[in-house]
Amino acid sequence: MIHLYNLDVLLQTALITHRYPAAERGGIYRPSSRPVERIGLALEPPPQVGNWVRDNNLDALWLHRPWRLDQAALPPDVGVLYHHLPFDETLTTGYNVPLAAALGLSELDILGYKTAPGPADAHLPPRPIGMVGAVPHRSFDEWKQLINNLFGGYDRAEFGSVRMPEMVAVVGAMNPALIQEAHECGVGLYLTGEYRKSAQEAVDETGMAVIAIGHRRTEEWGLRALAGLLREKIGVEVHVYRSNAPL
């Protein structure tokens, strides 16, 4: 029998939450002792969240951004989990192993590290900003098609000087230093969530191709990946909510 605590422990491991300051780790947002057979996943609390929970007979919720959750609308024994930063860094653009598999990246290496926010957090392990990996030969048009298939679109695609990149970076930020570091690693295509104009000069100088997928699209991909993880690891029934409609 699965309980909210078991889900919390599983996600602590899957999202590597020990790397984060205590205030950023997420976890149990609303305690419950109710056994969990059906869980709902959403980036934000859905409109009429109580109706969605009752219509699907959900035992628990997982939310990426729970801040506006109307807890009074929920049945009293429905528990809630949340993870914000660990989800973003582990299941969107960043060092994201499931996404690497979907993109065909191999021989993964880390690109960039986040620095500790303050002396009190200096003991925490470093957190990668992104990953680089070797990829099968694909043209830029083929990469755009793959991204479109995986994410349902992209915001911006800038052709680079390398016709068929042998190395690709997937990075949770875009700035001149990261573009340069990726270039020095032999990367020809840089995948990220949001295109940053501040990195344009570095993009031009290195000839880097860039596809900015859109942060929301990467979150929705991560939500589907999380659903797959929960189904595989503990066999619960998972309902995913997106854009005011369950998937």
Instruction: Read off the CATH number of the domain in which 236 is found.
Output: 3.40.1390.30
In the chain, how long is the greatest CA-to-CA distance? 58
Q: What per-residue confidence (pLDDT) applies to 116?
A: 65
Q: What is the pLDDT of residues 136-161, one digit of tens each?
A: 999 999 999 999 999 999 999 999 99
pLDDT tens track for 190-236: 999 999 999 999 999 999 999 999 999 999 999 999 999 999 999 99
| Six-digit token string for 202 | 């570095």
Alpha carbons 32 and 61: distance in angstroms, whole number:
11
**What is each CA distance from 169 to 5, 111, 134, 135, 231, in whole angstroms?**
35, 8, 9, 10, 29
Segment holding 158, helix H or strand E? strand 156-158
- Based on the fold, state whether residues 202 and 129 are members of the same structural domain: yes
Q: Is 88 annotated as a binding residue?
A: yes
**Residue-level pLDDT at 117:** 67
- 36 and 146 fall within a common domain: no
Q: Which residues of 23-52 are buried (b: 16+ CB within 10 A; e: fewer)?
A: ebbbbebbebeeebeebbbbbebbeebbeb
Instruction: Give the pLDDT confidence score for residue 237 in this predicted structure.
Output: 98
Average pLDDT (102-106) is 98
CB-CB contact of 133 with 117 (8 Å): no
Q: Is 229 in the same domain as 171? A: no
At residue 212, the 3 state secondary structure works out as: strand
The answer to whether 215 is a known ligand-binding residue is yes
Phi-psi region of 243 (alpha: psi -120 to 50; beta: other; left: phi over 0): left
**Same domain for 203 and 101:** yes
Regarding whether 62 and 107 lie in a shared domain, the answer is no
Rounded to whole angstroms, the Cα distance separating 31 from 133 reads: 40
Instruction: List the domain range (segments joined by +) for residue 75.
Output: 4-84+219-246
Chain position carrying tokens 């959750």: 69
Q: 223 phi and psi, to 5 degrees? A: -65, -40
Interatomic CA distance for residues 92 and 90, integer angstroms = 6
> Nearest to residue 127, comparing CAs of 216, 18, 22, 26?
18
The first and second tokens of residue 29, run together, are 């947002």
Count of structural domains, the chain: 2
- Residue 21 shares a structural domain with residue 124: no
**pLDDT score at 243:** 64
Task: Give domain status of residue 89, yes or no.
Answer: no
Q: Which residues pair with 79 in a beta bridge?
A: 60
pTM score of the predicted model: 0.94
